[in-house]
Amino acid sequence: MTDAPLILRSMDRERLWGRDEIAAKLFEAYGNGHRIFGIECVSGDGQSEFLEQFSRKLQEERGPDPIIIEGGPVRTETELIASLYTSLTEIPFSLEQKLGLAASKFVANLSPNLKSLAGAIMKDIGKVLTLGVAQETIDKFAGLVSGEDSAPDPFNDLLVEASANRRTLISRALEFVSDLGKPLCIVISDYEQLDTSAQSFLVALLRSKPESCVLFIAVNVEEPSASDWQNTMRPRMILRSGVVTALPEVGREELRQWFGAETGQEPADDELDQLLSSSYGGRAEFLKWLLDAWSNETAGPHIPDIFDAVLRVKRQGICDDARLLGDLLSLLPGNAAVHIDLLGAALASQGRDLQAAVDDASARGLIKQVEQRVRFSHSSYAQLWHSQIDTTKHAMLRSVWYDGFEKIGFLPSVAKVPGFIPMLADDIINGRTSDQVDTLAKELDAAGAKEDSLILHRLSYQKEDSESEGGSE
């Protein structure tokens, strides 16, 4: 793992193991002008702590008195707007010179019936302004800007307004605060728990939020209710130049460093294997529980059994093409990303269609495609999926992989996949001449797969020795 950028080094390492790369990517995207971010998470990955810490660090870099508005836990549009509004009225300011311009902009072009409520909202926000002026002056100023007496109870009046009016007013209030020079950041967690009204409000907020306001929306893609994310929210965020990325699991080397920092010991390989397996593929929150127990020499925590709750639901009704795709991927390490040419050839050998498989599995959040390669969305899915495959089926699937590899002409660049050559090594040795194996081994070495090359060389020599001994007898 490369050194973290300087901006990240002051962040709490305990919450950042394995997240340096994604944190740096998000900071870079912000630096390139992006202000909308979608974070795709899974159960137990510690997304709440990561987002809380990352957004705070981002805001500290943006200027003094950063403002982070937490949108949850909420379910409806009314609750979400109430949460945003309450946060806005708890913000301290000291920017008198900008107040007039921002207030005028706030109420510009509002209908007369909304100006009264707008003035009241301004007074609510004004209660925490440290302007060095009397409250009566603020009240009068808000009344002058709104053109009339303000509504007596803006909070309740706002919540009973028609949806379109509520959305207009809260967007204007966000811009009002932003125009006062305060860097705004809104963090919405648990998108999958929002009802349709709240999801619709967020779609509108993508269009109406202040340009400088940063918006983070996190979703647990393992939840069945997250389907609206894939179909509606995700594409709309991308359409508005949003950056949507997955929060990665903790990898083996990151876990090795975390283990050492937590326990003061160097972990054995089997200990790492056990931790990764018990945490469902390196889910940070589960790992934290396990490492705390390890350090304190207490009984291991109960990690929820997520197989029935997650994978069975996702696999229900899956098409045969996608089922075979999942079966094949489960024979490889969970983080293995396979070239689509190799996958397509393997599926085609069984009369299955790659595109249909990828479309169905990705729509269910089981796999993801990055450029020309496909992998499980989370490494734990390989572990969980593979647990349902018996020995007979395993041998059949390995044969399917070999057929696909043979069909594409044993291309080493395509076969450069963790665990792929070791899985098929015996079939390759037995199905090809020693010269052919030697050629493939050299091509793998040239492609950077040195360990795979050595495996083939070693098995080829062993086969030659065995045949020589058999011939001499």
Q: Which of 449, 368, 367 is nearest to 416 (CA)?
A: 449
Residues 251, 231 contacting (CB under 8 angstroms): no
Q: What is the pLDDT of residues 266-314, one digit of tens each?
A: 889 888 888 888 888 888 888 888 888 777 766 666 666 655 566 666 7
What CATH number does domain 309-472 carry, 1.10.3720.10, 3.40.50.300, 1.20.210.10, 1.10.10.10? 1.10.10.10
The region of weakest confidence among 83-97, 183-197, 269-283, 294-308 is 83-97
- More confident: 305 or 214: 214
Mean pLDDT value across residues 410-431: 86
Cα distances (angstroms) measured from residue 167 to each of 40, 60, 171, 206, 439: 26, 28, 6, 12, 66
Work out the pLDDT band at 244, boundaries 50, 70, 90: very high
Work out the pLDDT band at 39, boundaries 50, 70, 90: very high
Question: Phi/psi of residue 284, each to 5°?
Answer: -60, -40
CATH class of 6-246: alpha beta
Residues 146, 106 contacting (CB under 8 angstroms): no
Average pLDDT, the chain: 76
Q: Render 151-172 in DSSP notation, one character per residue.
A: PS-HHHHHHHS-HHHHHHHHHH
Token pair 């706002």 in the structure block, residue: 158
- C-alpha to C-alpha distance for 304 and 307, rounded to whole angstroms: 9
Beta bridge partners of 216: 37, 187
Do 309-472 and 6-246 have the same topology in CATH?
no
In this predicted structure, what is the pLDDT of residue 343? 94
In this predicted structure, what is the pLDDT of residue 223? 75
Q: Is the dihedral of CA 460, 461, 464, 465 positive or negative?
A: negative
Residues 157, 192 contacting (CB under 8 angstroms): no
- C-alpha to C-alpha distance for 130 and 146, rounded to whole angstroms: 21
Where along the chain do its domains lie? 6-246, 253-304, 309-472
- C-alpha to C-alpha distance for 312 and 334, rounded to whole angstroms: 17
The torsion defined by the Cα of 114, 119, 120 and 125, in degrees rounded to 10, comes to 130
Work out the pLDDT band at 348, boundaries 50, 70, 90: very high
pLDDT of 236 > 90? The answer is: yes
Residues 6+ positions from 318 with CB-CB distance below 8 Å: 326, 360, 361, 364, 366
- C-alpha to C-alpha distance for 295 and 263, rounded to whole angstroms: 5
Residues 341, 241 contacting (CB under 8 angstroms): no
- More confident: 352 or 126: 352
Q: What is the pLDDT of residues 366-395, one digit of tens each?
A: 888 888 899 988 877 887 788 888 889 999
